[in-house]
Every structure is written in structure tokens, then in C-alpha cells.
């Protein structure tokens, strides 16, 4: 009997360097089919951004076309949630006489429970093949001498890079066309709010992602260390939306970087190494999710920080979301997020610190809002970033380190080029006053159509320090 291999696509929407797809196609005599299952109610529970759902749909269309060229049909289906998807997949496997199911692992708690349930339902009916594909090194492979997950990034990175140099991080080729002529099937549209991202900012498809990766590594990564914190400059890779849904693999990033900058691992002062460092942060946060599943349940890594008495000021939260706080760099960043679904990483730190440390609003509100807007929404990276800013996570900023949003703006957007792009109300304010626009307006006898600052940073800082100190004392 001819074997039937089913490839279950999830957050790995590409045909190149896809470990599950590559393995499924090794037997030239097997029939290979593919499936994608949308789960809109689960997405809603996970606060998936309508932009990200639309981006997934766009890239699924591209994947469908690429698979069709290889004579691999892509079936698509929609279930309410993971539980329903498991039952449907089991029935699909039986109906199509699937002998082997191939998929790439996901590391979030709900996803792992879903995959465990699939294993239970299909036990004895078909063989499961799971692969570590979305990371350079699998979770649990980089541990301390006592076998525990690292809690601090720098020693994790040292151990990670040592192990990486001795691992097989090669990219796998796309499969060759199959012998069978497969009919191309219509994809099921998502029953989910969709907001189309700007195609000029983030074009869909593997080719677009690989082209962006190549041009970044050839032309801009050398200056990454000097330019990455300046939001007015196109100094970052902007690859995170592709990595988040697996249109691009981290191995493709790593290998392209080494191809263009062969000395990356030896020169830790280079722009290339600093960008590699960001890829390692991505790994760190994902490894942590597996070692500490409570992070998937929005629990703080440092337990006593749950005792902080947060402000419940709904107006402050709404003003932060809308980019109407009266702090120009914060407002420009939030408007960039609201309009494009993406935000520069330095700005993510600034606005997160402002919400938690200036407005004393629970970091979970910010984490959730980011997920609802981000094109590159990713639980591990988003949770890791928010817990870093809130001083509640592993390797987080100590609670007494509080960003001053005004001086952050002066440092990273000195002349206000980024601010004016997103806060046109401040277009007439000169460079020297752009970070204190109301002081300038008073001197000029002008009235700005721009809100006064929500808080006095110096006062807010003292209140935050007091709230954290009380929480720590209360924990004993």
C-alpha cells in the first residue's frame, strides 16, 4: 500500500527550509498532502491582531501557490478552537488513509496540549513525526551545569553560541515536484476580522521575505549597532512579521548573516553580531516558555511583583493606546503601532516603561493591547518584552530603573523627525523644543492641538518606586 504523508502547517508558512515538509517528501513513492486549520475563536482568546490574521491569509495564499508547483495539494479548514481542530484532524487522517503526520513543534502551552491530544487520538492509527523548526536550538538543549534553564540572558547567549557552532543549522532545500498531478483546492476564507497590512511595508510571501533578508545583511547590518535605536532611520531588519508566522526561518537568517559577514561570531562589536544577539533573545524567550509554562498564563516570573497595587485609571490607558499622552515620543510610537501594526524595538521599550512605570498600569494590559495590534505578534517575545519593562520577568530591568520618556525622546529622536512623522500637530515646533512642545507654545503665545502631559514624570517615578517597594516588603 502506498504511504500517505500529511504535512500539518501552522506557524511555518514556507516550503524552503521547512523540516516537516522536507521529511515528508523524502519518500519519493509516498503521496504527500498538506493541511492548514484556522481556529478563529482560539485566535480571539489569544488576542491575535486582525492585521496578523490578514497577513497569515496572504502568506497562506502564497504557500498554496508554491505547494501547487510541487504537486502537493493544500487542504484548508476552519474550526472554532484547538479542541475542535484536533477532532477534525483525526477524522481527516482516517478519511484520507494518512499513514504519517508531519508537523513542526510549537512551544506555547495551549499548542503543546493540542499536539499531545493529537498524539493520543492518532496513536496506533498513523505515525507522528514532530520537528524543532522555529528555533536554532530546541528548548531544553541550552542549560546550566545543573541542568536548569538559564535565568539571565548573557550566560545563556554564551552557552547558546557555543552549542550553535557545533550543531547542524544548515537550511534545507524546497522539495522537488511530486510525480502526481495535484488539483489546486480553494482556500477557506477566515471567519475573523481582517485588516490588510500595507503591502509596501510588508509584502507577503517567501520571496519577499528572503529578498528583505538578503538586502539587510548585504547593505545595512554593518551599521545596525549605530542605527538600530534611531526610529527615524530604516536601521532594523523589519523581518519579525515573517519570523512570527514562519514565512522565514531563523536558520535562513543565521546562514545569510554568516554568508555576508563571515566574521560575525568572532567580532562581538560588529553590527552583524548585535543583530545575531537579537535572534538569540528570540530563542531565550521561547526556551523560557517551555521551562516555565506559567509565562504562557500571564504569570510574572518574579512572584512578588503580583503584589504591586496597579492603577485602574481607564482614561490613562485609553490615552496611551490612542497616542494622546502628551509625551511626543510615546505618542508617535503608539500611532505608528496603531496605523502599521509594527513598532520600532527601542520604542516598544519606551512605551512599555511609560505605561507601567509612569502610569502604574498593569503590564498585562499593555501586553494584551500589543498582541491585538502587532503584525509580528508572538507570545514569547511580547511577554518577555513586557515583563522586562515591568521588572517582573527573568533578566528584567530592576524595578528602580525607570525610563524618562522625555530624555529617551531627546536621545533617540533628537531633532524630532520621527515624532513629526506621526504627530503632525507638532509640525511647527522647532527641533530644540520638540520634546517640550507646550513650553514652546506658551513662550510663543500659541495653542497646540495636542494634550498636556498626563503625568509629571518625577512625581510618577516616586509613586512607582513606592508601589514596588511596598509590594516587595509585603512579600516578606
pLDDT in tens, 206-216: 999 999 999 99
Q: How far is CA 175 from CA 96, 128, 169, 283, 460, in A?
A: 22, 20, 18, 27, 57
What is the assigned CATH class of domain 4-133? alpha beta
Q: Is residue 470 a known part of a binding site?
A: no
377 is known to lie in a ligand binding site: yes
279 appears as a binding residue in the annotation = yes
Query: Is 108 labeled as catalytic in the residue annotation?
Result: no
Stated pTM of the model: 0.97
Instruction: Say whether pLDDT at 313 is over 80.
Output: yes
310 catalytic per annotation: yes
User: For residue 476, what pLDDT is reported?
Assistant: 63
Reported as a pLDDT band with limits 50, 70 and 90, residue 182 is confident
Query: Alpha helices of 96-239 — where are they, by DSSP H?
Result: 109-122, 153-165, 206-215, 224-227
Q: Is 347 annotated as a binding residue?
A: no
Cα gap 282→237, rounded to integer Å = 14
Every domain of the chain with CATH number 1.25.40.80 lies at 206-291
* Catalytic position from the list 41, 345, 410, 425: 345
Q: What is the mean pLDDT of residues 408-437?
A: 97
Do the beta carbons of residue 32 and residue 182 sit within 8 Å?
no
Residue 293: pLDDT over 70: yes
For 303-474, the fitting CATH number among 3.40.190.10, 3.60.60.10, 3.40.630.10, 1.10.579.10 is: 1.10.579.10
> For residue 281, how far is the Cα from the chain centroid?
11
Task: Match domain 206-291 to its CATH number in 3.30.1280.10, 1.25.40.80, 2.30.30.90, 3.30.365.10.
Answer: 1.25.40.80
412 is in an annotated binding site: no
386 belongs to the catalytic site: yes
Cα–Cα distance for residue pair 74/241, rounded to 1 Å: 23
- Check 110, 304, 310, 338 and give the catalytic one: 310
Specify whether 59 is catalytic.
no
What does the alpha-carbon distance between residue 421 and residue 150 come to, in Å, rounded to a whole number? 41
| Chain region(s) in the chain for CATH 1.10.579.10 | 303-474
Asked if the model's pLDDT at residue 397 lies above 90, the reply is no
Is 236 marked as a binding-site residue? yes
Catalytic annotation on 388? no
345 classed as catalytic: yes
CB 317 within 8 A of CB 359: yes
Mean pLDDT of 49-56: 98
Residue 396's pLDDT is 80
280 is in an annotated binding site: yes
Asked if residue 237 belongs to a known ligand binding site, the reply is yes
Which position has the grid cell 510549537? 106
Q: Are 252 and 207 in contact (CB under 8 A)?
A: no
Q: pLDDT at position 181, please?
A: 81
Is residue 278 marked as binding? yes
Residues forming beta bridges with residue 32, ordered by sequence position? 5
Task: Please report which confidence band the pLDDT of residue 263 belongs to, taking 50, 70 and 90 as the band edges.
Answer: very high
- On the question of pLDDT at 4 being above 90, the answer is yes
pLDDT at 135: 98
**Is 80 exceeded by the pLDDT of residue 380?**
yes
Please name the helix (run of DSSP H) or strand (run of DSSP E) that holds residue 100, with its range, or none.
Answer: strand 100-104
- pLDDT above 90 for 69: yes
Tell whether 282 is in a known binding site.
Answer: yes
Identified catalytic residue from 342, 363, 388, 440: 363
Does residue 433 sit in helix, strand or coil? helix
41 annotated as ligand-binding: no
Residue from 386, 388, 422, 440 carrying the catalytic annotation = 386
Percent of all residues in the chain with a pLDDT value above 90, rounded to a whole number: 97
Amino acid at each position: 500500500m502506498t504511504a500517505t504523508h500529511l504535512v500539518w502547517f501552522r506557524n511555518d508558512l514556507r516550503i524552503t527550509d521547512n523540516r516537516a515538509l522536507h521529511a515528508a517528501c523524502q519518500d519519493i513513492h509516498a503521496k504527500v498532502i498538506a493541511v492548514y486549520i484556522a481556529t478563529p475563536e482560539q485566535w480571539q482568546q489569544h488576542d491575535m491582531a486582525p492585521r496578523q490574521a490578514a497577513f497569515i491569509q496572504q502568506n497562506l495564499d502564497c504557500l498554496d501557490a508554491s505547494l501547487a508547483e510541487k504537486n502537493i495539494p493544500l487542504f484548508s479548514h476552519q474550526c472554532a478552537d484547538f479542541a475542535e481542530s484536533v477532532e477534525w484532524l483525526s477524522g481527516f487522517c482516517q478519511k484520507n488513509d494518512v499513514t504519517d503526520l508531519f508537523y513542526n513543534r510549537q512551544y506555547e502551552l495551549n499548542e503543546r496540549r493540542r499536539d499531545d491530544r493529537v498524539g493520543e487520538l492518532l496513536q496506533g492509527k498513523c505515525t507522528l513525526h514532530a520537528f524543532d523548526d522555529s528555533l536554532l536550538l530546541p528548548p531544553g538543549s541550552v542549560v546550566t551545569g545543573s541542568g536548569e534553564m538559564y535565568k539571565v540572558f548573557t550566560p545563556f547567549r554564551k552557552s547558546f553560541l557555543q552549542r550553535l557552532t557545533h550543531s547542524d543549522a544548515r537550511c534545507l532545500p524546497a522539495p522537488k515536484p511530486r510525480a502526481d498531478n495535484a488539483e489546486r483546492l480553494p482556500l477557506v476564507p477566515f471567519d475573523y476580522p481582517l485588516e490588510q497590512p500595507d503591502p509596501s511595508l510588508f509584502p507577503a510571501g517567501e520571496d519577499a521575505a528572503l529578498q528583505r533578508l538578503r538586502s539587510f545583511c548585504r547593505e545595512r547590518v554593518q551599521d545596525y549597532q549605530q542605527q538600530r535605536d534611531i526610529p527615524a532611520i530604516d536601521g532594523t531588519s523589519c523581518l519579525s512579521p515573517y519570523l512570527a508566522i514562519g514565512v522565514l526561518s531563523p536558520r535562513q537568517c543565521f546562514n545569510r548573516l554568516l554568508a555576508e559577514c563571515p566574521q560575525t561570531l568572532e567580532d562581538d562589536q560588529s553590527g552583524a553580531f548585535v543583530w545575531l544577539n537579537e535572534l538569540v533573545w528570540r530563542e531565550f524567550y521561547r526556551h523560557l516558555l517551555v521551562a516555565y509554562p506559567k509565562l504562557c498564563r500571564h504569570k510574572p516570573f518574579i512572584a512578588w511583583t503580583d503584589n504591586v497595587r496597579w492603577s485602574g485609571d481607564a482614561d490613562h490607558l485609553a490615552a496611551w493606546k490612542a497616542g494622546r499622552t502628551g509625551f511626543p515620543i510615546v505618542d508617535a510610537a503608539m500611532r505608528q503601532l496603531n496605523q502599521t501594526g509594527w513598532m520600532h524595538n527601542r520604542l516598544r521599550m519606551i512605551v512599555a516603561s511609560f505605561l507601567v512605570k509612569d502610569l502604574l498600569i498593569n503590564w498585562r494590559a499593555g501586553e494584551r493591547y500589543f498582541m491585538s495590534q502587532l503584525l509580528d505578534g508572538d507570545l514569547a517575545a511580547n511577554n518577555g518584552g513586557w515583563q522586562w519593562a515591568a521588572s517582573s520577568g527573568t533578566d528584567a530591568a530592576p524595578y528602580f530603573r525607570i525610563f524618562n520618556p522625555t530624555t529617551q525622546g531627546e536621545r533617540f529622536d533628537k531633532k524630532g523627525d520621527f515624532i513629526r512623522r506621526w504627530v503632525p500637530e507638532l509640525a511647527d515646533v522647532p527641533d530644540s523644543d520638540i520634546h517640550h512642545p507646550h513650553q514652546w507654545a506658551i513662550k510663543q503665545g500659541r495653542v497646540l492641538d495636542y494634550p498636556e502631559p498626563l503625568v509629571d514624570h518625577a512625581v510618577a517615578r516616586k509613586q512607582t518606586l513606592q508601589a514596588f517597594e511596598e509590594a516587595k516588603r509585603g512579600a516578606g
